[in-house]
Amino acid sequence: MEKSKIKLEILGLSYSQTQTGAYALVLGESEGKRRLPIIIGNFEAQAIAIELEHMKPSRPLTHDIFKTFADTFEVQVSEVIVYNLLEGIFFAKLICQKAGEEPIEIDTRTSDAIALAVRFKCPIYTYEFILSSAGIILDDDEIESLGDDSPSSDESPGSNTAYGGMSMDELESELSQAIDNEDYEKASQLHDEIKRRKKI
């Protein structure tokens, strides 16, 4: 009997409190309050954040190359499934399909699967036994704060002091230069500062 899938949404990225240099990717069930925190590396966190923030790298990242390759050969990633959890490690697979052909499953690291899911704009699923064993429940305030501590954000909730004295035009110019130089961490910080000012 096929297991029932539970749809997940990306709620945010934040610095990992337990592992230096790592990030917590927080997924939440679409129709419920359980959250699934997954520890991922810096590169994958940046790859996810860049796509979520609609930033365009000067040269394609690995996940962008995969997307272009798949598009070229008319292969679609239709969904991502986080299908297992063993000794604290999540396992995921891509469900890929060419028009008129049977779907093919490809095993992948969960962080790479999510980075591809945001590029293919496909749904992310998991199973009840994974949410039951690893899911946590956050209150509304904790959920709202998730997006404020991305891999690019400054530690303080206010303006990034490195860019606080710059005008919007200067910030936009610096952002463009950082992307051209492939300094995605700096680009992400600049993007956050621009976003913060636009909200004021």
Span 103-130, pLDDT tens digits: 999 999 999 999 999 999 999 999 999 9
Nearest to 46 by CA among 134, 143, 178, 137: 178
Q: What percent of the chain has pLDDT over 90?
A: 42
pTM score: 0.74
Strand residue runs (E) in 99-185:
104-109, 124-127, 136-137
pLDDT tens-digit series, residues 137-184: 866 555 555 444 444 433 333 445 567 777 888 877 887 777 777 676
Task: Give the least confident one: 17-26, 44-53, 139-148.
Answer: 139-148
Q: What is the pLDDT of residue 104?
A: 96
